Amino acid sequence: MALRLVLAEDNYLVREGIKRLIETQTDLELVGVCEDYDGLLAMVDDEKPDVVITDIRMPPTGTDEGIRAAERLRDTHPETGVVVLSQYVDPGYALALLEKGSGGRAYLLKERVSDVEQLLAAVKQVASGGSVIDPKVVEALVSARTSAQSPLARLTPRESEVLSEMAQGKNNAGIAAALVLSERAVEKHINSIFLKLGLSEEPDVHRRVKAVLLFLSAG
């Protein structure tokens, strides 16, 4: 069964380009197109799509409508995945998108849209509850940290292994199976990782996302 998509993009040329890409894929079905924040929320209410593809900036303010829509839909339509498209490499936008959890969320640069395989992969990933962060955004994190020693250096070899498994999207049970540890031991290692990375005062989901971003930024 084809994944049902809603597209929100106010730029005509970009909107038409994405529409044509979607129409070439037999496993995707475009059920609605809109151009602003309010129109997007209304269309999702009406169509209940599997995935929304949205620009990061749309009317009425042209600031962060895509991020705010993704946050709103987490409450109103938690089963709907969201792929946010942006021309901005600033990792702050990606962190804002993942603020309340990474499940079912993707942040891609618009230059990726021409590669239908990457777009398709991101759509399928968020539809299944996964997440995607554009590699160039991760590279920006690397640049932002070149002048400071990485906090990852404080981790023990075992903690580094646990973090590596986290970065592959595994839950605690999956990490335990991969490293032949008990889930209780994995929990202890993860709590130690959070503490050493200075993430001890944040919600668990947010800490997990930031820990993985730090790991990816270190290469």
CATH number of 147-217: 1.10.10.10
pLDDT reported for residue 88 = 85
pLDDT reported for residue 140 = 73
Q: What is the pLDDT of residues 162-210, one digit of tens each?
A: 998 888 888 999 999 999 999 999 999 999 999 888 887 766 767 888 8
Q: What is the pLDDT of residues 87-137, one digit of tens each?
A: 888 777 888 888 788 889 999 998 888 888 888 999 999 999 998 888 888
CB count in 10 Å sphere of residue 141: 17
Q: What is the pLDDT of residues 34-49, one digit of tens each?
A: 999 999 999 999 999 9
pLDDT reported for residue 61 = 92
Single-letter amino acid, residue 41: L
Extract the tokens encoding 62: 């042209």
Higher pLDDT, 121 or 51: 51
The residue length of the chain stands at 219
Higher pLDDT, 78 or 93: 78
Asked whether residue 79 carries a pLDDT value surpassing 50, the answer given is yes
Q: Are 28 and 120 in contact (CB under 8 A)?
A: yes
Closest to 68 (Cα-Cα) out of 97, 48, 45, 91: 97
- Taking the C-alpha atoms of residue 157 and residue 167, their distance in angstroms, rounded to an integer, is 15
Domain ranges of the chain: 3-142, 147-217
CB-neighbour burial class of residue 20 (10 A; exposed 0-12, middle 13-18, buried 19+)? exposed
Share of the chain above pLDDT 70, in %: 92
Asked whether residue 219 carries a pLDDT value surpassing 60, the answer given is no
State in words which class domain 3-142 has: alpha beta
